[in-house]
Structure 1
Amino acid sequence: MAHNVVESSAKESFSAEPKISGPSTVEAEARPAESDGPETFEVEASADAAEGDTTPKKPLGFYLSFFAINILVLLFSLDATTLAVAIPAIAAELHGTTFESFWAGIAYYLGLVVSQPLYASISDVFGRKPPLYVAFLLFTVGALTFSLARNMATIVVARVIQGLGAGGLDVLGEIIVSDMTTLKERPLYLGIMALPISIGSVLGPTIGALFSDFVSWRWIGWINLPLLGISFPLIVFFLRLRSLGSSFEAKMKRLDWGGMSLFAIGCTLFVLPLSWADSLYPWNSYQTILPLLLGAAILAGFVVYEAKPEAPVVPYRIFHSRTASVTLCGGFVHGIILFTLLQYLPLFFQAVMLDSRIGSALTLLPTSFSSVLGAIASVIAIGKAGMGYKVRIWIAWCLAILGSGLLLLLDSSSPSGMGYGIPIIWGAGIGALLRLLHIPMQASVPSVDDTGHAIMLLLTFRCFGSLVGLAIGSTVFSSVFEQAIAAVGELPDSLSVLRDAHNAVAFIPTLRTLDLPADVIAPVIEAYLISMRAVFYVIVGFSGLGLVTSLFTEELSLQRTDRGRQQFET
């Protein structure tokens, strides 16, 4: 095979975004000219690629590594969603307080949001596998500690540790797939990865309910261990990524220590009050306002500081692309609507339809399938048919708007067919966006070695969106429920706890067990319906905002075949 070696400079690669073009006639392979920076690399062109669509056959190690990464993203998705429904059972067994229950629920997300940018930054300097091994260790220790916990304090510590590990498993798994593939072939693999991600995200609450109701909540932790036992050896023995070279001391000097510290502190201070606002403390309390403002100020300082380091946590050049900026906005909005409805849709069926936790999960099972199919089909078709992503993103947002809007038609008298069918539309749209947004984000990078940063930013924005969405959903629900329940009038003793709107969500499992006359319970169910609809209205609005941001997305070329410094080696 003949090869031509072409010198490429970073200055040229940063000059413009790649617009739609015909199929690439050159298959490029990025090789580092210097081991301590992504800015200068050599491009190896394959003459065979110029002759057509010939793609080198991938070795068995590639597929085994990819299989292991799919297990990692499944673990991350499951543990992000299984615990919420099990917290009441855990708190009852371990005699936990409301405060401890709150921390048990938020600890995982806190570790996740704080750690993802740090893993991406460290892996860009030290290579992907060392921080991935650290993530494996933290996740395993967290899962074991959770499963063996004898009090709620241990549960909280375990979830923090597990979240710190999960942040690495998620973001490094996504980044490694981008290292292993070219942009041209990547839609296929992103589509395949949609299966474990969607299964974990959507079926997680069902699995958590099954474990807590019929086995033991401890299995939420134990179930991780055999999956870790399968994926870890596959990663160790079959994932071969090109070494970055350079000495340990040189790598330590390149790390953005100041940026990582500012982000970790600022993010923690900003996220915590978003999580406890209107649940532990009111929005207008100093416990909420002070850390929120302090966190925002530190994050603003972090943004300014990031212009200085040699290897920043968040390179400014990523935001030079309009497509990247609007895609990050879309990812933020996607996080808001995805996680808010994942929480409130099951609660809607339990409070308004008086379903059990398992019953509500079964009602939403078709929605789970539609989200999985939407995620897989929307992305794989891009790679197979060579079709653009922009129109598909618009269609997905329209499905999200239509689906969340149709939820407003549901009430306590709706036939079961409507309950099963209407959420399917929302599921298809939101599932498609789960993977589609990765395509323009990765296509917009000025250099292939910036793909890891782009992936990290999208995942981080989505996580921030989820926390903001849950805070908004909680505030809207509580404020509307307070007014609606006050209009009901006198309540019997068995319902008097609902006078405090903050008890409304926790009381939902009790509703279906009450033996009260229909004329007494019906107004209460109506109060829940009104409050849930208020949340749905907010989701419709944010879905519309997502569609508006997507209108500014550019159709960039997906024909790039260059590979980064840490590409897969056979």
Structure 2
Amino acid sequence: MEQQKNSSLESCQQAIRIADDATSFRHSNVSQNSKKSFSFYMSISSLWLLALITSWDATALAIALPAITSQLRGTTLQSFWASISFILGAAITQPIYVTVSDVFGRKQPLYASMLLFTVGSIVFATANSIIALIIGRLIQGLGAGGLDVLEEIILADITNLKERPFYLGLISGAVAIGSITGPIIGGLFSQFVTWRWIGWINLPITGTAFLLAFSFLRIRPIPLSLRAKLRRLDWVGILLFIIGATATALPLSWAGALYSWSSWRTIVPLVIGLAVLVLFVLYEKRPKDAILPYRIFSNKTAIFSLVSGLVHGFILHTLLLYLPLFFQAVYVEAPLEAAKSVLPICFLTIAFSVAAPIIIQVTRRYRVLLWFGWAILTLFMGLTYLIEPSKSPAKTYTFQVFLGMGLGIVFTATQVPMQASVKDVDDTGLAVGMLVCFRLTGALGGLAICSTAFISVFQRKINSLVPLPESFSILQDSRHAIELIPIINTLEIPGELLKEVLGVYHKAFQAVWIILTTFSFVGLCASLFIEELTLEREEIGRQGFEHDS
């Protein structure tokens, strides 16, 4: 009995010491805000590179997709899966990275995600079949999920809320630069060298980011034993989420394309997946360190910030995939020309994703800015439907300017209220992680739903043109719609029929624009419920940066 009392006393004393250390650590960091060390800036540089490479890799494939599909003899559905598999891998693993990094610390999960991303890049670059390429993209996604979420979590760890908008601007600049250069370099590689360099170029950038993180990223470790950390993990929640998310995403990706919506192959896994996700949500009330912590959803600002992030991911990733394809298919542009054609949306996205946090930093307000971003995004997403293929693409460029403004503003303006909504500063990383997870889940849903709509509308419209010339007969199976895009202007076909075929592509893209406009309006409505919270907090959490002495 006496030993038990002594053991309990020692445990209490240890807990008090840990709490005292954490408190003194936060106070010391508050006083050191203005004195950033060289290691801090090198760590920011590592995060900047990770944000650059993940955003670059997510957008470079869109331009090269038709050439890859043609060379590897893939179908339209398989070409979409080259993008969907990447998002699927990232979306499923991101909540796991969030909870593991909160229990084990940030650095080990970060290194593991770098390794997976590198392996996936090599598999992608050496793929000799569309299936091998999809596997490579899936492995890349498993790593990119960690890179994407951890660079934002670590940024929240090593900065306080008062100064964070400035650093959010820096990281958002990297994301936007990656989104701009991705289509351009992807077009250059696919047209003049080889699309395989889309994978190879990741290696030196990821390697540099790893060396900087390994050498300079000094995050305070979690003071628990390995056994205690393993016990804290929400193993059941992790398993339920993986099963539910995968079973839900797969049928959404093939419904209406590979199998009909009424097919048991679509209905059965979808119902099972949704049921498991409901069970997952109900179960997450129990674990102390849940993969889906209920306390993060304790106020309406957090809830509607997450909805805003979900819808933004739905629109951003889908638009960046389909807009280059639109220029290639409807305006019959080469990959590099299509890359140039999407520069307006890319440049404005980067400009306003950097400008938005600067405006917030100066004004200390974010609500009106967020409303403005959603309003112009919704308006001009809807106007995109009115673009006619027979007209000059000048109107498209103009609309892209305003779409880029909206996308850039919402991207960073949504992050601030989400982080301001947490009651305990130690939950900031979890809040950031949840937002990134919701954003990527939205991207997965957007790519799956819009690929289904695109293929379904294309199939219905192309059937009205039969019989087609033999050179175009492949289009009677809509699964080959993307495969034909790179060579559509080289086929010998009467001008009037070619115009009609391009019109079929246009109708399929219009279906995508309608879906994106509808979801953008949902995002606008959600932003109206976000409250204006104070940004004057200076605390730093338990995994904050250890500055040079």
What do the CA deviations read for 1:389-408 (whole angstroms, capped 9, x no partner)? 11111000111012212323
**Amino acid in the other structure paired with 1:230:** T
- Contact kept? 1:443, 1:557, Cα under 8 Å: yes
- Contact kept? 1:32, 1:565, Cα under 8 Å: no
**Amino acid in the other structure paired with 2:231:** K
Structure 1 residues 139, 477: closer, same or farther in 2, change over 3 A? Answer: closer
Aligned to 1:520, what secondary structure does the other structure show? helix
Alignment of 1:327-366 (within 5 A): 327-366=305-344
1:69 equivalent in alignment to 2:50: no
Aligned twin of 1:18: none
Alignment of 1:404-443 (within 5 A): 404-443=381-420
Aligned to 2:484, what secondary structure does the other structure show? helix
Aligned to 2:384, what secondary structure does the other structure show? helix
* 1:324 Cα deviation from its structure 2 partner: 0.7
* 1:43 Cα deviation from its structure 2 partner: 6.3
Aligned twin of 1:281: 259
Structure 1 residues 472, 418: closer, same or farther in 2, change over 3 A? Answer: same
**Amino acid in the other structure paired with 2:326:** F
Distance 2:410 2:506 in 1: 28
Query: Which of residues 292, 298, 312 in structure 2 aligns to 1:320?
Result: 298
- Contact kept? 2:63, 2:187, Cα under 8 Å: yes
Distance 1:407 1:48 in 2: 48
1:380 equivalent in alignment to 2:361: no
Aligned twin of 2:517: 540
What do the CA deviations read for 1:200-247 (whole angstroms, capped 9, x no partner)? 234423322321221122211110111122111111111111122121
Aligned to 2:23, what secondary structure does the other structure show? strand
Greater displacement, 521-530 / 222-231: 521-530
**Amino acid in the other structure paired with 1:42:** T
Question: How high is the sequence identity, in percent, across the aligned residues?
Answer: 46
1:450 equivalent in alignment to 2:431: no
1:219 equivalent in alignment to 2:219: no
Distance 1:404 1:398 in 2: 10
Aligned to 1:156, what secondary structure does the other structure show? helix
What do the CA deviations read for 1:266-322 (whole angstroms, capped 9, x no partner)? 212112222222232222222222111111111111111111112111110111110
Aligned to 1:516, what secondary structure does the other structure show? coil
Distance 1:190 1:210 in 2: 30
Structure 1 residues 293, 201: closer, same or farther in 2, change over 3 A? Answer: farther
Aligned to 1:42, what secondary structure does the other structure show? helix
Distance 2:371 2:182 in 1: 28
What do the CA deviations read for 1:137-156 (whole angstroms, capped 9, x no partner)? 22222222333344444433
* 1:55 Cα deviation from its structure 2 partner: 4.3
Greater displacement, 204-213 / 289-298: 204-213
Alignment of 1:98-497 (within 5 A): 101=79, 103-383=81-361, 385-488=362-465, 490-497=467-474
**Amino acid in the other structure paired with 1:217:** W
- Contact kept? 2:79, 2:482, Cα under 8 Å: no
**Amino acid in the other structure paired with 1:110:** L
- Contact kept? 2:244, 2:274, Cα under 8 Å: yes
For structure 2, which runs of at least 5 residues remain unmatched after alignment? 1-13
Aligned twin of 1:551: 528
Distance 2:15 2:363 in 1: 30
Structure 1 residues 44, 504: closer, same or farther in 2, change over 3 A? Answer: closer
Distance 2:59 2:253 in 1: 16
- Contact kept? 1:32, 1:41, Cα under 8 Å: no
- Contact kept? 2:62, 2:324, Cα under 8 Å: no
Structure 1 residues 150, 539: closer, same or farther in 2, change over 3 A? Answer: closer
**Amino acid in the other structure paired with 2:440:** C
For structure 1, which runs of at least 5 residues remain unmatched after alignment? 1-30
- Contact kept? 1:477, 1:534, Cα under 8 Å: yes
After TM superposition, the score normalised by the length of structure 1 is 0.87
Distance 2:487 2:407 in 1: 31
* 1:40 Cα deviation from its structure 2 partner: 11
Greater displacement, 401-410 / 62-71: 401-410
Structure 1 residues 141, 499: closer, same or farther in 2, change over 3 A? Answer: closer
Aligned twin of 2:498: 521
Structure 1 residues 39, 121: closer, same or farther in 2, change over 3 A? Answer: farther
- Contact kept? 1:123, 1:131, Cα under 8 Å: yes
After TM superposition, the score normalised by the length of structure 2 is 0.91
Query: Which of residues 14, 18, 23 in structure 2 aligns to 1:42?
Result: 23
What do the CA deviations read for 1:345-395 (whole angstroms, capped 9, x no partner)? 222222222222221211111221111001110112211x13311111100
Structure 1 residues 75, 447: closer, same or farther in 2, change over 3 A? Answer: same
**Amino acid in the other structure paired with 2:331:** M
What do the CA deviations read for 1:154-195 (whole angstroms, capped 9, x no partner)? 433332222111111111111000011001110111111111
What do the CA deviations read for 1:74-129 (whole angstroms, capped 9, x no partner)? 11112222234434444555555777656544332222111111111111111111
Structure 1 residues 239, 484: closer, same or farther in 2, change over 3 A? Answer: same
* 1:449 Cα deviation from its structure 2 partner: 1.1
**Amino acid in the other structure paired with 1:158:** G
